[in-house]
Amino acid sequence: MLDLNDVAIFVQVVRFGSFAEASRRLGVPRNTLSRRLQQLEAQLGTRLMQRSTRQLTLTSAGQVFLERCSGAVEGLMDAGEELLAVNQEPAGLVRVAAPADFFDFFSMEWLNEFLIAHPKVRVEFVLSDGRADLIAERIDVAFRGGILEDSGLFARKVLDAGTDGLVASPAYITRRGAPTTLQDLPNHDCLVFGHPSGKATWRVVGPGAESAEVQVAGRFSGNTAQALRKAALAGLGIALLPSTLTHRDLRAGRLVPVLPQYHRQGHGVHMVYPSKHYLPRAVAAFIDLVIQKMGSLQELPPEPNG
């Protein structure tokens, strides 16, 4: 008779992508997990996965077995977690990968409330505009903008896509004048994401939902949207930025719309994590915080010092 614990271990190892990651998350030695899986394969009389130092690959039999048993195992785990959650307090480390300017729109006050509510939880942020490898870097939750790749990660949207619009400071418009057509933009200083050429192609949608593009350049470039926003505020040029980042500045008059008949569709912001099942209580609590605070976000948090 099959040991259902071994079946659960098989499903969890597959979900986490490696014995090392499954060992870390489950708190079970790696050699124990490997031994239990070998026992399961011996009972079934077939190999379920091919192992290498870098990755695990399911055999055809392993894929069929996973599809047949994963739903039942996850259902049992969910039922058990619901019962345990009543008396289990979130504890331990949560590692979060986020863009370099993450705390420009995620309030530290929210994080303070979270840590006060969960005194046994520690949070470590890895801030970078590079795309983190969740398994290799032991990341529990990552924030990603743009189009999500089909990586097998579980994703939840935390900010709607919205639109990107052209903006500039009143001082810049006074000094250089306002462009009246898209074709005027190459004659202006435009703020672009860093490229050796100093140039960028902006693809936008105009009146009548017609697509258009224009090549622009400028003397300032940066690798984050927040850097381009601050450059626009300082009068360095025209930027194409998400409305979620600029609407407060527009309302206050610190920025003004440029060619408002043109816009670019955004892609929103997602949280990604290896699986929605078997999450440590601390990780699940952090995800709940983000959904609560950002899911209904109508306005960006106030900036420090105004």
Whole-model pTM over 0.75: no
pLDDT-based confidence at residue 86 (cuts at 50, 70, 90)? very low
Statement: 4-85 belongs to CATH 1.10.10.10: yes
Helix or strand or coil: residue 57? strand
State the alpha helices, DSSP H only, in 54-150. 60-85, 108-117
Residue 255 has what pLDDT? 97
Per-residue pLDDT tens over the stretch 187-237 = 999 999 877 777 899 999 988 888 999 999 989 998 778 889 999 999 999
**Residues in CB range of 244: below 8 A, 6 or more apart:** 105, 159, 162, 266, 300
Q: Domain 92-161+268-295: give its CATH superfamily.
A: Periplasmic binding protein-like II (3.40.190.10)
User: What CATH number belongs to 163-265?
Assistant: 3.40.190.290
Closest to 169 in 3D by CA, of 262, 238, 222: 238
Question: Domain boundaries in the chain?
Answer: 4-85, 92-161+268-295, 163-265
Q: Do the domains at 92-161+268-295 and 163-265 have one common CATH topology? A: yes
pLDDT digits (tens, 9 = 90+) for 172-190: 999 999 999 999 999 999 9
Taking the C-alpha atoms of residue 116 and residue 108, their distance in angstroms, rounded to an integer, is 12
Contact predicate 172/274, CB 8 Å: no
**pLDDT tens by residue, 239-281:** 999 887 888 899 999 999 999 999 988 767 788 887 766 678 8
Neighbours of 54 (CB within 10 A): 7
Q: Does 282 have pLDDT greater than 60?
A: yes
